Structure 1
Amino acid sequence: MNAPRTRVQRRPVHGVLLLDKPLGLSSNDALQKVKWLLRAEKAGHTGTLDPLASGVLPLCFGAATKFSQLQLEAPKTYTAIARLGQTTTTADAEGAVLRERPVDLVSITPERLAAVQAQFTGDIQQVPPMYSALKKDGKALYEYARAGVEIERPARAVTIHALKLALTQDEDGQPAIEMVVTCSKGTYIRTLAEDVGEALGCGAHLRALRRTDTGGIDLARCVTLQALIDMPEAERMQHVLPADTLLHAHVPVTLGEQDAGRFLSGLRRRGDWPDASAVAVYGDQPRALLGVGHVTSGELIPDRLLSPLEIQQILEGTPLHTERGSLETL
């Protein structure tokens, strides 16, 4: 007879946990595991990272979910390994080999790599892969691909902010290219690996991918899932950072008590602020994040607001039930 499952008592958690996502887990699986470990009521991630990729994945809880879109739009940096001489059906290691070609390592000189770097740096056009979640007539492209149907995909504009290529070997000792890429939203690293391989005359497919930075948040600030599992519950909560962790690029504006209350009601406020497209707005006494907005012609205009309950819970701290059943506040 199976033992009855213990019901997890959820609680309000507000903030951001910076996870170093492991290989083999989808972004949503990783989110659900951390949500369970924190016993959080509400959670969301800031953009998917494929199961075959590891690295920086900010997870948002409670009020911080209102700002997750900011990370979706942010530039991201990856380190990738692309095996030379083979193309696959999926452009990565999961697919069947489509074509094999010899790799002329002598011709892959630093000068040639520099020329290919320049070719794929800046604003470029990419044709999305068939094995992707993009939709056609309400159906994901990978569903068509699995059925053997090829769909015409128009090229899309993406931006490669920086690209560094170096000759290396993959985990099997085969010739490969290491790519360090900083790119815009919507860039497919698999497609970039394929395109770089074609530019080198031998083809390529992605063997390994690790996200090292997203919107200025790097791996040094992240915690692994296994470390979270192994630590006591109270220690896990110490890894939940304030919601404004995602707002480091915003201009801070602080409002007095009356203006703060009106701003939270959705009213615009006037002041001598310079124009700014992204503003993080705080109340003065006590200091608390109220939301985000923008300033136009001296007018502070709300965009996303925290609720009074969320602000109160953040100021009071999240109640934590200990193993002894007592109640403490972090």
Structure 2
Amino acid sequence: MDFVTKILERSGLGQETYVPEGLHCLPIEQTMVGSRKETKEVILGAVDTLFRNTGVSPSDIGILVVNSSTFNPTPSLATIIVNKYKLRENIKSFNLGGMGCSAGVIAIDDAKSLLQVHRNTYALVVSTENITQNLYVGNNKSMLVTNCLFRVGGAAVLLSNISKDRKRAKYKFVHTVRVHTGSDDRSYGCATQEEDEDGLVGVTLSKDLPMVAARTLKINIATLGPLVLPFEHFCIHAGGRALIDELEKNLHLSPLHVEASRMTLHRFGNTSSSSIWYELAYTEAKGRMKKGDRTWQIALGSGFKCNSCVWVALRNVKASANNPWEECLNKYPVEIDI
């Protein structure tokens, strides 16, 4: 507990992040029922809001891509969405698992590829992670770190290749770059779900992680940079304070460039693959997204992978209704103690 306290004090997380209901109980309830409840509340809540905000009917969705790294029940999370919204029988649905915090960009890239084949349709992308089943209850320090960082969260994104939607779309999707260094043993083993010496399951983070992340990011930047640099906005995966610090230094970013990432980590914690969407929502809510602005979303995850995508604002973008910052934006940015 002393170790966990020290990590939490230095984590950059605030006092309002979300932990699922089952982990507020003593003893804690790490059940399938609790895990399903958490995930349904998150993803169905996000999708409900998306349909309300866009006015798109569930029957118009032709492609569905859902990603969750460590919680993959049967029926799948994608099927839960199909059942809830009665999506059509010829839906192209995909459920991505085990791909870490960078899977949100992978899901977007997969949806883009499918939209290039299937014309005049919508793709729904849902990114989340599950905390209920993944709280580690042992004493291995390398596994306890994830308890201090990961919190409940999720996002739903709608993509369209229908020409008339350009008039109301927020962004144009420009580029994706995906880098996977899993052929290297150190990359492969830097974040591993496994049992500890007492048989308790957790995710081990190796000491090679910072080095592996920096090397993989360098490859991604070398590929993407010549295509689209410079950028007005950055959405760096809120994986932890050290990660944001390292990217701020190595990319020579200003405090304003990393503000969305730091504030997302403070308010919501590490929400895995959905964190880059909380950051984009922060930039929108602050009224900073102007027509023509380019945004670079950068996500890193186990394997090891560094994935990025670039968007161009098609107009001055306002915050969506019921965005996650609606009730707390006036508090941010906040000073984070070093």
* Greater fraction helix: 2
With normalisation by structure 2, the TM-score equals 0.22
Give the TM-score, by structure 1 length. Answer: 0.22
Query: Comparing both structures, which one devotes a greater share of its residues to strand?
Result: 1
Higher relative contact order (CA 8 A, sep 6+): 2
Larger Rg: 1
